[in-house]
């Protein structure tokens, strides 16, 4: 766990052919992550395909419990069932496992980490670290810094979630449906109950007896765990929108007293690592998923008092689901843990 980051590492990616898996390769190169040997793992149907990293081709292997010999760090992004099946095998081989799935997020023995917020939750004995839900990460990058200027009592969140949250397959579906709608051809086959192109719909996860879907309940539970506020009141409505990449969220933050001054909020957010303030009222320029796509910062703007509640303020945020919402957060965790740093400022 104290391996210096300058040392070459044997790295495995489980789910290498997915949308997040592709981002890992790009981030390794961009951030100079010290890869000595790279093992790309995926399903049996992907075995034999090759991907290029730093000009060298690496062939994909089928992921099994025997895939992790000699691996120092294993990044998992192949879904909860594969993580439950294979993560322990990687740990048994001595690897640090950084898991992007929901498999272990609410396990009390597994830290659920956004490095800019709660890296201190990781202890020397931890060999498995969970990456939170993408929506929760993007939300908390903007919300957590506000604890410096007031005690947060409640969050009301409405999300505008892109196709990237459903993986490469949903991104392709949105592209194909959009093309079909423009050309007047038949809509491609889909598991969705409603058209995706030029439409929006309640997040496509099962709805519980409470009326909340799984995505909404994940955001509520994970927000409380990350912030260490088990009693925090959170209300979330998650909606899928026809945006290819990057999630957006409308957020109302209620405090236990009068809401902080807008300028104090802007000052705190402008200094928060991994946050970019875009709040230009004169030009009507605020965060958009277009601007958030392809870069690691969470964009924050539309900062204003809630005219209906003197204890609340409102803001609008956008962040790349594949980067800070997934791959980038995972890589930052590994960088921080392997260097033993107590704090992490994004490169």
List the catalytic residues. Answer: 134, 247
Interatomic CA distance for residues 167 and 322, integer angstroms: 9
DSSP state of 45: G
Look at residues 274, 282, 333 and name the one whose alpha carbon lies nearest to residue 138: 274
Both tokens assigned to 126: 């931890």
CB 158 within 8 A of CB 249: yes
Give a three-class secondary structure readout of 64-76: CCCCCCCCCEEEE
Among 143, 40, 95, smallest CA distance to 337 is for: 95
Distance CA 156, CA 262 (A): 18
- Comparing CA positions, the residue from 250, 45, 268, 43 lying closest to residue 146 is 268
Count of alpha carbons within 13 angstroms of residue 341, beta-carbon side:
15
Cα gap 71→38, rounded to integer Å: 9
Report d(CA 270, CA 317) in Å as an integer: 13
Q: Tokens at residue 21, please?
A: 């898996």
Residue 142 in 3-state DSSP? helix
Distance, CA of 161 to CA of 247 (rounded, Å): 5
Residue 62 sits at φ, ψ, to 5 deg, of -70, 130
DSSP letters for 279-324:
-BTTTTB---HHHHTTSSPEEEEEEEE-TT-TTEEEEEEEE-TTII
Residues 128 and 104: beta-carbon distance below 8 Å: yes
């Amino acid at each position: 766990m104290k391996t210096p980051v300058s040392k070459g590492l044997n790295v495995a990616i489980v789910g290498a052919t997915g949308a997040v898996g592709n981002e890992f390769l790009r981030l390794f190169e961009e951030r100079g992550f010290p890869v000595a040997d790279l093992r790309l793992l995926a399903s049996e149907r992907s075995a034999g395909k090759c991907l290029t990293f730093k000009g060298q081709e690496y062939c994909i292997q089928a992921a099994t419990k025997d895939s992790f010999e000699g691996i120092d760090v294993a990044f998992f992004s192949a879904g909860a069932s594969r993580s439950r099946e294979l993560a322990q095998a990687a740990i048994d081989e001595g690897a640090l496992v950084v898991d992007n799935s929901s498999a272990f997020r609410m396990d009390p023995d597994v830290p659920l980490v956004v490095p800019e917020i709660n890296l201190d939750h990781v202890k020397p004995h931890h060999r498995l670290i969970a990456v939170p839900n993408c929506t929760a990460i993007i939300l908390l990058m903007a919300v957590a810094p506000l604890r410096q200027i007031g005690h947060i009592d409640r969050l009301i969140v409405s999300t505008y979630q892109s196709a990237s949250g459903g993986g490469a397959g949903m991104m392709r579906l949105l592209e194909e449906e959009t093309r079909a709608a423009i050309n007047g051809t038949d809509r491609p086959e889909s598991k969705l109950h409603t058209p995706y192109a030029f439409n929006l719909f309640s997040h496509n996860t099962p709805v519980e007896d409470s009326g909340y879907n799984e995505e909404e309940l994940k955001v509520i539970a994970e927000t409380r765990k990350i912030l260490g506020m088990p009693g925090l009141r959170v209300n979330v409505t998650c909606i899928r929108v026809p945006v290819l990449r990057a999630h957006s969220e409308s957020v109302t933050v209620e405090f236990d007293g009068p809401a902080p001054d807008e300028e104090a909020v802007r000052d705190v957010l402008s200094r928060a690592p991994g946050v970019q303030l875009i709040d230009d009222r004169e030009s009507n320029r605020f965060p958009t998923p277009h601007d958030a796509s392809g870069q690691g910062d969470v964009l924050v703007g539309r900062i204003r008092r809630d005219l209906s509640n003197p204890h609340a303020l409102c803001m609008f945020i956008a962040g790349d689901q594949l980067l800070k919402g997934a791959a980038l957060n995972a890589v930052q965790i590994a960088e921080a843990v392997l260097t033993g740093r107590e704090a992490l400022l994004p490169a």
